[in-house]
Structure 1
């Protein structure tokens, strides 16, 4: 017998879990479909990453997040969200990737994964933005020594490492690699370290650059990557530097093509901010909702766990109200 869910949630990160908790509390029949591990994006963060947010701002389901340090790290966060799953016993299928969402003539949705086809009255997309790097589109970018994700510094110890970018991920990687003995060069598009870099990290990287421990090329961009060297366009002209590894930490973006394939419109083709009602999080397609950082399109700095947790109650309240008015 086919199960028709009140809501299927695509994405098992903190916001997807928050949506499930809200649905569970309202007695809705729900299912989370997550393509990887629980809170998969957090799992793939650098091993020693520290959150900018305090622990209480990462809480969901009214469950306290206890943390000794002022700011929790990746390990503490993984432990917290595992405990959330143990506590609520959320209905979640891990390692099941959704490939398409199709609205049928009867108003229900077909949610098609790599393992099954599901039917749901409502769908929430809470897929985040960490899956697809923002590529530089330069020759050599896809060589094996070019990395768009950074895990830890040990691999880069005593090697020549070129780091692209000046955001939190780039700065963390540059400092960690330098501390482990790497010779670090940074290529930065603007003239300074980004103002959004963690306030306790920003002075450290600026001091390392000022003293010459880390070389930084400001107002610069990469033009080509080869096996052992990189061409950089600087204000003084083109230069070539040696590099055993390139950490192209240029940011990440939501799967805009997937959103569009579901029928979700965007305001434009540059920032690709999806169309949705900010009061209900419902998109232009009735019954299809967005939650979390995916709402920002290419503006990935707008939404975080701490300011998008509220999406869960907004969405489930709207779903329940619609069911009661039927």
Structure 2
């Protein structure tokens, strides 16, 4: 098996695939290394999720994405990216986690769970969906607490607390309620987040207004126990009987992985990685970032639709260097 390449691409999500397609078109040797399944983050999205973006804005390398409705669903996206990878014969090596990136002269050595690779250039396109933002409260490590939400049927006839007020939390609250769960939302802010999908907002606001879904605003979880949860509200601590906590508190990139690779991060709470926006090259020569990983803790800044061109910038810079 060949282990020396022009470009080593870490991450087999949509932007990692776009980088592979750009390298392929430019005649550069490459490999895409993915620790999970193909487009692993999208696979771990909720089963019934509908994208905010239209299908044409999720396309990579100009390959048409056809969906039944204007807003594609998770199954449609999985099918699209699978067909992109197979029809273009992309060299994607799945279930192979990268554990270390080490400079080696004018190359990089990349160690994975299976092999060691050498590349003149490395692209990190690992996204941000791997590490949840913790609430750091007693009981958060109990089995009843979930930081990922998948299928609403699991929560039928259960007493569910949903933490958060943005798209993931709103979808979880509405879907579990419709499956018969008794749902309470715990919202740090004054109400539903401003970025919630416009066709969903009236639904959740009306369910809260009519009392079908209970909501505590300006509130946080204070403690979690096997059968109940303490919620700190403006009126004081409220104890709620509870079976499951779905903590949709967001996620963050693997900052320690970036730092191990030598990439410098800003010292504020945003933890922005250092890179040139014109070329996507980091402070480490020939080491690039692509996709949502560029945003640090601002995980809502970059999406598939506005970071697809990162692949073209990177390959153009490599070809011209």
Range of TM-score over shorter length: over 0.9
Provide the rounded CA distance (Å) in 2 between the counterparts of 1:70 and 1:200: 13
Provide the rounded CA distance (Å) in 2 between the counterparts of 1:140 and 1:3: 45
* 2:226 alignment partner in structure 1: 227
* 2:64 alignment partner in structure 1: 64
Pair 1:302 & 2:297 matched: no
Which digits, 9 at most, give the CA deviation of each residue in 1:123-170, with x for residues without a partner? Answer: 000000001100000000010011000001111111100000001000
- 1:122-161 paired onto structure 2 within 5 Å: 122-161=121-160
Which digits, 9 at most, give the CA deviation of each residue in 1:14-66, with x for residues without a partner? Answer: 00000000000000010000001000000111000000000000000211001
How far residue 269 of structure 1 moved from its aligned partner, in angstroms, is 4.0
| DSSP 3-state at the match of 2:119 | strand
* 2:236 alignment partner in structure 1: 237
| DSSP 3-state at the match of 1:194 | coil
Pair 1:167 & 2:158 matched: no
Confirm or deny: 8 A CA contact 2:228 2:243 kept in the other structure: yes
Provide the rounded CA distance (Å) in 1 between the counterparts of 2:115 and 2:313: 29
How far residue 4 of structure 1 moved from its aligned partner, in angstroms, is 2.4
Provide the rounded CA distance (Å) in 1 between the counterparts of 2:85 and 2:236: 54
* 1:258 alignment partner in structure 2: 257
How far residue 307 of structure 1 moved from its aligned partner, in angstroms, is 0.2
How far residue 86 of structure 1 moved from its aligned partner, in angstroms, is 1.7
| DSSP 3-state at the match of 1:19 | helix
Confirm or deny: 8 A CA contact 2:3 2:116 kept in the other structure: no
TM-score (norm: length of structure 1): 0.97
| DSSP 3-state at the match of 1:154 | helix
* 2:111 alignment partner in structure 1: 112
Provide the rounded CA distance (Å) in 2 between the counterparts of 1:243 and 1:168: 22
* 2:80 alignment partner in structure 1: 80
Cα 1:62–1:315 shift into 2, 3 Å = same
Cα 1:2–1:198 shift into 2, 3 Å = closer
Pair 1:45 & 2:45 matched: yes
Provide the rounded CA distance (Å) in 2 between the counterparts of 1:7 and 1:109: 10
How far residue 205 of structure 1 moved from its aligned partner, in angstroms, is 0.4
* Runs of 4+, deviation exceeding 4 Å: none
Q: Considering only aligned residues, what root-mean-square deviation do their CA atoms show, in Å?
A: 0.9
How far residue 3 of structure 1 moved from its aligned partner, in angstroms, is 4.0
| DSSP 3-state at the match of 1:294 | helix
Pair 1:96 & 2:96 matched: yes
How far residue 238 of structure 1 moved from its aligned partner, in angstroms, is 0.8
Provide the rounded CA distance (Å) in 1 between the counterparts of 2:127 and 2:297: 11
- Structure 1 residue runs of 5 or longer lacking an equivalent are none
TM-score (norm: length of structure 2): 0.99
Provide the rounded CA distance (Å) in 2 between the counterparts of 1:232 and 1:3: 53
Cα 1:161–1:120 shift into 2, 3 Å = same
Q: How many residue pairs are counted as aligned between the two chains?
A: 321
